[in-house]
Amino acid sequence: MTTHADISTVTFQVSEADAATRLDTYLAAHIEGWSRARLQRLIEAGDVLVNSKLVKASYKVAAHDDIEVELTPAPESNFTPENIPLDIVFEDDHLIVINKPAGLVVHPAAGVHSGTLANALAYHFQQLSHAGSIRPGIVHRLDKDTSGLLVAAKTESAHESLGDQFRAREVFKSYVALVYGAVKQQSGSVEQPIARDPRNRTRMAIVAGGRGALSLFKVRHSYQSFTLLDVELKTGRTHQIRVHLAWLKHPVVGDEVYGSGRENNVQDVQLRARIRKLNRHFLHAEQLGFRHPQTGKPLKFTAPLPAELREFLELLEAKN
């Protein structure tokens, strides 16, 4: 039995004894704390692959099938409260919107059990309720080194409503990314499937049969050897923007996973040094829009670029 609180992606190989079991039933028996209905929604959203292919919940698993499941943290998870400062953009009785700094992990995972946004939210909610009854319902993630807007639910009904909006692609998510090179198209899209890189399981990659992923981009400003992009996510795959922009041959500045070594091609010594000192990638979740889970009212939030990214752009401006 796998405990989902420790990981974001799980893999299984079906045994002879489990052959001919429905996929949703198999997963419910092997992933602790996840209901069959919730797992069915993951399957429908394309977050479950069998032998690197999308299948239905009714699919009968076969012996030796390889199953990969990307889990979104469930609201029932318990987190140790930790007094970590939060930049709160909006809050009411149903949800909270946070401007996350780079370097803060969103959710406990393998090797990271404290110091996360989930721990900070648990402390914040506990202080509000004077009890441990409210738990953070984290609906979506940002990578550790991505800054910007993230929404968490305070109630199970709010979590379900927000989760449904994300699955239905009704949530507006817009990012700012600085990439290497001159992007020639003023606007465009990347629609390429994403899955675990079969050669390196710690990375994601463009993989035939992977989960469908769509990113829209528009040039905000062009610099010599760099381009500032607005990127709208239509899906929410792991590392989606970073993988799609690297596929375009314009990886995100400072991305050591998908653009490693690209800074070595930067001719300006000062810029090259500043990229290395950033200690993060230049990706910021600038805008987030969704319907309030209780009232249905449209909400939209904007988070300005953090100081270290603004200062890098000012240096680029000075050199152009």
| Residues labelled catalytic | 143
Closest CA to 160 of 293, 36, 295: 293
Strands ordered across the beta sheet of 9-13 = 9-13, 66-70, 48-50, 53-54
In the 8-state DSSP scheme, what is residue 262?
A: G
Instruction: Find out whether 258 and 252 touch, Cβ atoms under 8 Å.
Output: yes
Which H/E stretch holds residue 278? helix 269-278
Which amino acid, residue 273? A
Alpha-carbon span 105 to 75, nearest angstrom: 17
Closest CA to 210 of 244, 237, 188, 239: 237
Measure Cα distances from 7 to 11, 32, 50, 148 in Å: 11, 12, 19, 22
Region label for 254, one of left (φ > 0), alpha (ψ between -120 and 50) or beta (otherwise): left
In the 8-state DSSP scheme, what is residue 126?
A: H
Which amino acid, residue 95? L
